[in-house]
């Protein structure tokens, strides 16, 4: 029989983990470390109304900068990559919108799993405050950031309405446009779904699924050699963050949209957890590294170059 004490503990834990309570505690703990970050909706509107490129920083990119011995599942630590990421974070190009997680300010409306992730991730090693201190050093006069999680509009939220509202807006970015994907060789953006069906044309440069930064110079050179005015969409982990800045500095509009296709697949199927998407690299799923060969003729016909793979 469950003791009264254990029942009270369980009730307390449910209340503490509730949306309003956990978010209130999170905001109170970080009240002196808030940044000027647009909401997801505001970020997408800015992208639609301007010709800006975007470079996105998630928890992985910040950990590569702050933790000298930490590897990610798809990218081992590299001192040069960490230095480049820090440089991008402080980039002053007015045509480049730097994006960081809105969750650094607020975790309301998210699933319990997502709330707990950000609550405890930020608390461990005092990561949240270290990130904000770093950003304030690089932008002492303040900066209005976009939200990194424009590419994460579904799985972390309590209801599917968030994704239902935002995916159509995101699709407007490439409506009638010629687009060039620069992606991991097992990413396969848009294959098997209608996420990019409204684009005028699609071409692809395929790169290694892991440790793409090892081939950075060749990837950048290849993009510049094949680019013919297309909107460039990146899905290449931390390497994409650096590429977005370098390409924007060269006057090439580039959107770092990693994770978006997987989120769309989860949205379409009504997934409630980080399930493996068959035929696509799903780094957050248990067996997501095991990807079958793609024989889709349309996809194969879109490939312009392969770099390092």
Per residue in 206-250, pLDDT tens?
Answer: 999 999 999 999 999 999 999 999 999 999 999 999 999 999 999
Find out whether 185 and 300 touch, Cβ atoms under 8 Å. Answer: no
pLDDT along the chain (309 residues), means of 10: 50 56 86 95 96 95 88 84 96 96 92 86 78 93 94 92 95 98 96 97 96 97 98 97 98 96 95 89 75 91 96
Q: Using CA atoms, how far apart are residues 143 and 35, in angstroms rounded to an integer?
A: 8
pLDDT tens-digit readout, 133-154: 999 999 988 899 999 999 999 9
Tell me the domain boundaries of the chain: 4-306
- Across 208-217, b (16+ Cβ under 10 Å) vs e yields bbbbbbbbbe
Helix (H) or strand (E) segment spanning residue 306: strand 303-306
């Amino acid at each position: 029989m469950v003791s009264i004490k254990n029942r009270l503990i369980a009730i307390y834990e449910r209340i503490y983990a509730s949306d309003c309570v956990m978010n209130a505690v999170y905001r109170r703990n970080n009240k002196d470390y808030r940044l000027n970050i647009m909401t997801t909706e505001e970020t997408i509107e800015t992208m639609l109304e301007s010709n800006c490129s975007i470079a996105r920083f998630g928890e992985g990119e910040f950990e590569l900068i702050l933790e000298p011995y930490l590897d990610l599942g798809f990218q081992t630590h590299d001192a040069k990559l960490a230095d480049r990421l820090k440089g991008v974070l402080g980039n002053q190009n007015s045509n480049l919108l730097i994006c960081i997680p809105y969750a650094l300010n607020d975790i309301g409306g998210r699933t319990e799993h997502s709330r707990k992730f950000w609550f405890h991730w930020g608390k461990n090693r005092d990561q949240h405050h270290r990130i904000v201190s770093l950003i304030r050093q690089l932008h002492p006069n303040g900066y209005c950031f976009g939200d990194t999680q424009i590419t994460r509009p579904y799985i972390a939220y309590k209801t599917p309405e968030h994704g239902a509202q935002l995916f159509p807006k995101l699709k407007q970015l490439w409506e009638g446009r010629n687009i060039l994907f620069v992606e991991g060789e097992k990413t396969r953006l848009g294959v098997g779904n209608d996420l990019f069906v409204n684009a005028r044309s699609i071409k692809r440069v395929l790169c290694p699924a892991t440790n793409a930064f090892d081939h950075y110079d060749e990837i950048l050179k290849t993009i510049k050699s094949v680019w013919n005015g297309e909107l460039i969409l990146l899905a290449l982990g931390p390497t994409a963050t650096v590429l977005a800045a370098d390409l924007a500095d060269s006057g090439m509009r580039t959107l770092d949209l990693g994770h978006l296709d997987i989120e769309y697949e989860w949205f379409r199927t009504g997934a409630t957890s980080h399930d493996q998407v068959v035929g696509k690299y799903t780094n957050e799923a248990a067996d997501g590294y095991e990807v079958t060969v793609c024989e889709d003729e349309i996809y194969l016909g879109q490939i312009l170059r392969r770099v390092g793979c």
